[in-house]
Amino acid sequence: MEKVIDGRLMSEEIRAELKQSIKFEMIKPSIAVIQIGDNDASNSYIRAKEKACDEVGIYFRHFKYDLGTSELTVINKIKELNNDEYVNGIIVQLPLPEGYNEKRLINTIINSKDIDGLTDINTGRLISGRKTLIPCTALAVMEMLKRSNVEIESKHVVLVGRGKLTCKPLIQLFLNENATVTVCHSKTLELEKYTRDADILVSATGVNNIITKDMVKDGAVVIDVGVNYDTGKISGDVDFDNVIDKVSLITKTPGGVGPMTVTMLIKNAIYCYQNKKK
Ligand code: NAP
């Protein structure tokens, strides 16, 4: 059996489904990305989002502000986009340069257009079990497991990391599926004690090769969210070449969670678009 969950292939399939779902719409969905500064990684993530929008048939708008632009200028643009009936989703590209208030900017986005699922209200809705927009990387992890037919109920899920983009929302998403969830972080002692017991191990730290073969249970499912540039090429949290021998399923970096994250952003945008039409 193929052990690698191919995020690129899965993305292609889902994007084709999403494209089909809006094929007959006269007015296409539209998203807007707000960027401040010229961070290389952000530029590349934004290009990936634009390409995915083109593929599916979503109108993509990019507002790029020079470093030093006043926060008020950006807030006013977000408010304008909130009121623009032709814009279905708004993203403030993270990380923001120093000096900008991330919470304030994110929470200026109207909840119904928050396709990153990061406003305080949408975060609260997820925890209280209401239908809401969910952060794309967490959605990507769940979608990859479901499409690979991984059983989640009663399994022990170990999350390495407690960031707001992935592991925090995953705590709730896995609990919703009746998994038992353990959360580890940088202050966890003897990390391997927990990871070795994981049926499903999700790592989202950005620390290269933090997950080695001896830390993984035989037959586990391993999802590598981390992205690391230390070695001069993109790698993940997991020592893939050695860990693969032990697992039943694993993702690869690049070509794993990354493309699926962008695809889930498109899915969220279409959800907002269809919700508005109702
Ligand atoms: P974050 O908010 O900074 O979270 C990183 C987490 O890793 C923190 O909870 C931190 O613990 C934990 N951590 C750091 N060193 C650790 C260690 N030695 N042992 C155990 N835990 C450790 O970052 P993030 O936004 O969640 O992103 C995490 C990684 O995922 C990054 O590499 C990012 O580029 C990547 N990412 C990838 C995608 C994708 O689409 N593939 C999407 C989002 C993020 P503390 O809380 O104690 O500091």
pLDDT confidence of residue 238: 98
In the chain, which residues have pLDDT < 50? none
One fold for 25-110 and 136-258: yes
Count Cβ atoms within 10 A of the Cβ of residue 255 and give its class: 0-12 exposed, 13-18 middle, 19 or more buried. middle
The number of helices, as runs of H, and strands, as runs of E, in the chain is 10, 9
Question: Measured from the CB, is residue 208 less than 6 Å from ligand 1?
Answer: no
Listed residue (111, 164, 165) closest to 137, CA to CA:
165
Q: Report the atom number in ligand 1 closest to the C-alpha of 188.
A: 20
Decide which of 3.20.20.140, 3.40.50.10860, 3.40.640.10, 1.10.150.240 is the CATH code for 25-110. Answer: 3.40.50.10860
Phi-psi region of 161 (alpha: psi -120 to 50; beta: other; left: phi over 0): left
Question: Whole-angstrom Cα distance, residue 183 to residue 167?
Answer: 8
pLDDT in tens, 259-273: 999 999 999 999 999
Q: Where are the domains of the chain?
A: 25-110, 136-258
On whether the CB atoms of residues 63 and 34 are closer than 8 A, the answer is yes
What does pTM read for this prediction? Answer: 0.98
Rounded distance from Cα 258 to ligand 1 centre (Å): 14
Residue 232 pLDDT: 85
Q: How far is CA 120 from CA 103, 106, 113, 169, in A?
A: 8, 9, 13, 12
Query: What's the rounded Cα separation, in Å, for the pair 98 and 34?
Result: 16
User: What does the pLDDT look like over 227-237, one tens digit per residue?
Assistant: 998 878 999 99
Catalytic residues: 49, 93, 116
Decide yes or no: CATH 3.40.50.300 for domain 136-258: no
